[in-house]
């Protein structure tokens, strides 16, 4: 007898269950497949969410069509004026829905019906561990967030580079960018880029990494300054303690605002701001990489841009500046030499930002490196990772329960505002990506302020057997007469040999391995 089935998503307290029910009267047993939830075959009946053959596809398609229809109705009344208060709220709602859609698209099929946040108990954000999601979100909201921007100072297209109109579809379905005719006109400019939507995500995540590095340095500098002041004021009377504490809280809030404002000003989208999108493109277009406006950056281009721009800024930056700029060291092969690092600290006398533009696999990150990635994110010296999915870059801050990476998503276009709206540089929620879906191409950032911190970081990595970074101890070079007596012709060997042996022995106890 042929059996008939009804299928659908059933809601449970812990997630969703995909239930397949046998309608054959001779066998009324339920067949239940549970994803991210406990088995519900013995539970009371649940509400059926959908019952098509492939439930989640039909549901998402319907919702997307509804959103598109509503979006077209909303933008049909464009009048070239600033949005009203209600329109502003609608814009934010649309933007939040789009961000939610992007977040959902970053999850695999098996991740959609995941466990609730209440079941989680391990959160790590830039080296700090939390036991609940609320504190983790508070930490994330205190960081800086750079995203796509629209309406910025024009960047002329390259003669042999992409045309701005190619990226029109990345912008047009965001209602927030279509609130006035002036902006719509700039989007149709085929000679100048006025938005980086569709191509600038790696630049934005690199800005995120650098901006939060500078934020960490600025706050650390203020804390050290405050500690010195407190030591000098230990002789104050006890009855002044309460007033002093309140004043310290107020002072800290004011200093934090000043720090945020100064850092954000350095990243504004114009040629005068040292770490702007414009300057990221400027320095790398003149490098051997020759990346043009509209072309996607990779980790190598991003790290090269950061190194060049920080060097330029350090040449003119005041040592007493509220926002310190680090010296940047780039290691493409992930090798760190103790003597070289020590020399940098002695010469530059600045905090050191270590950047590692790497590829840890072919199509996806090899599982061999998963634990090492988590260890680096959990380090107190971590300033995050810029990477993501193929052709989509995210700023990774930490992880939940050793399998889901926490990240900030730059793929939400926002308008350039005058005066600067600092609230648009923060988020209240974070996104997640299963580590299995992480793209192997990424840029890892580590910040150490002293040689002692470098040694501490080195100990963290070596004790945990980190498989990404390689440390080399101090080497003392003793001049000695070389025992190599072969000429270049002799090393090449005879005519019948097809290769040169680069492992040339110096003596019986040591050799030079040029393959390392």
Tokens of 248: 């310290």
Q: Is 409 a catalytic residue?
A: yes
Rounded Cα distance, 382 and 444, in Å = 8
Which CB contacts under 8 angstroms, 24+ apart, belong to 16-23? 16/49, 16/112, 16/113, 17/46, 17/113, 18/55, 18/113
Q: Is 110 a catalytic residue?
A: no
In 325-458, DSSP assigns E strands to 327-330, 335-337, 352-359, 382-389, 392-400, 404-408, 414-415, 431-434, 441-448
Out of 196, 411, 439, 461, pick the active-site residue: 411
- Whether residue 91 contacts residue 176, with contact meaning beta carbons closer than 8 Å, is answered with yes
Rounded Cα distance, 400 and 386, in Å = 18
Out of 201, 269, 439, 461, pick the active-site residue: 201
Rounded Cα distance, 500 and 509, in Å = 21
Which CB contacts under 8 angstroms, 24+ apart, belong to 70-74? 71/173, 71/175, 74/175
Out of 150, 196, 269, 409, pick the active-site residue: 409
- Whether residue 351 contacts residue 314, with contact meaning beta carbons closer than 8 Å, is answered with no
Q: Is 201 a catalytic residue?
A: yes
Give exposure, 406-432, as e/b (b: 16+ Cβ within 10 Å): bbbbbbbbbbbeeeeeeebbebeebbb
The continuous run of DSSP H or E covering 57 comes out as helix 55-75
Phi, psi of 195 (to 5 degrees): -150, 150
Phi, psi of 5 (to 5 degrees): -130, 150
Active site amino acids: 201, 409, 411
């Amino acid at each position: 007898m042929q059996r008939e089935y009804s299928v659908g998503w059933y809601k449970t307290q812990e997630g969703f269950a995909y239930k397949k029910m046998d309608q054959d009267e001779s066998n009324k047993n339920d067949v239940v497949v549970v994803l991210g939830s406990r088995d519900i075959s013995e539970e009371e009946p649940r509400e059926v969410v959908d019952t098509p053959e492939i439930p989640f596809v039909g549901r998402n398609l319907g919702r997307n069509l509804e959103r598109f229809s509503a979006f077209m109705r909303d933008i049909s009344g464009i009048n070239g004026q600033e949005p009203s208060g209600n329109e502003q709220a609608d814009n934010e709602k649309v933007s939040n829905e789009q961000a939610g859609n992007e977040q959902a698209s970053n999850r695999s099929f098996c991740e959609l019906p995941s466990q609730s946040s209440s079941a989680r108990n391990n959160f790590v954000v830039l080296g700090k561990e939390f036991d609940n999601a609320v504190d983790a979100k508070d930490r994330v909201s205190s960081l800086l967030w750079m995203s796509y921007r629209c309406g910025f100072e024009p960047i002329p297209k390259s003669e042999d580079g992409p045309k701005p109109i190619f990226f029109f579809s990345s912008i047009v379905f965001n209602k927030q960018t279509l609130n006035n005719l002036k902006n719509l006109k700039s989007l149709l400019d085929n000679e100048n880029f006025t938005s980086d939507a569709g191509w600038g995500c790696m630049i934005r995540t690199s800005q995120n990494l650098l901006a939060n590095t500078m934020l960490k340095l600025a706050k650390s500098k203020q804390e050290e300054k405050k500690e010195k002041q407190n030591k000098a004021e230990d002789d104050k009377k006890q009855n002044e303690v309460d007033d002093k504490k309140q004043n310290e809280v107020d002072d800290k809030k004011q200093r934090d605002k000043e720090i945020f404002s100064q850092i954000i000003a350095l990243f504004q989208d114009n040629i005068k701001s040292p770490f702007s999108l414009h300057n990221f493109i400027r320095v790398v277009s003149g490098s051997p990489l020759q990346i043009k406006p509209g072309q996607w950056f990779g980790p190598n281009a991003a790290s090269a841009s950061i190194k060049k721009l920080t060097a330029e800024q350090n040449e003119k930056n005041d040592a007493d500046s509220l926002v310190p700029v680090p010296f940047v060291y780039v290691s493409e092969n992930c090798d760190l030499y103790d003597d070289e690092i020590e020399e940098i600290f002695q010469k530059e006398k600045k905090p050191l930002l270590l950047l590692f533009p790497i590829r840890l696999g072919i199509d996806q990150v090899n599982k061999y490196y998963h634990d090492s990635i988590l260890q680096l994110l959990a380090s107190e010296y971590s300033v995050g990772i810029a990477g993501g999915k193929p052709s989509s870059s995210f700023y990774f801050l930490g992880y939940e329960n050793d399998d889901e990476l926490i990240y900030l998503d730059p793929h939400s276009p926002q308008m350039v505002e005058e005066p600067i709206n600092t609230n648009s540089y923060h988020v209240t929620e974070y996104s997640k990506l299963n580590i299995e879906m992480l793209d192997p191409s990424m840029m890892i950032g580590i910040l150490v302020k002293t040689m002692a911190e470098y040694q501490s970081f080195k100990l963290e990595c070596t004790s945990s057997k980190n498989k990404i970074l390689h440390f080399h101890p101090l080497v003392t070079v003793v001049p000695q007469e070389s025992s190599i007596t072969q000429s270049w012709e002799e090393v090449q060997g005879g005519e019948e040999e097809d290769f040169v042996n680069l492992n040339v022995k110096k003596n019986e106890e040591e050799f030079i391995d040029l393959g390392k």
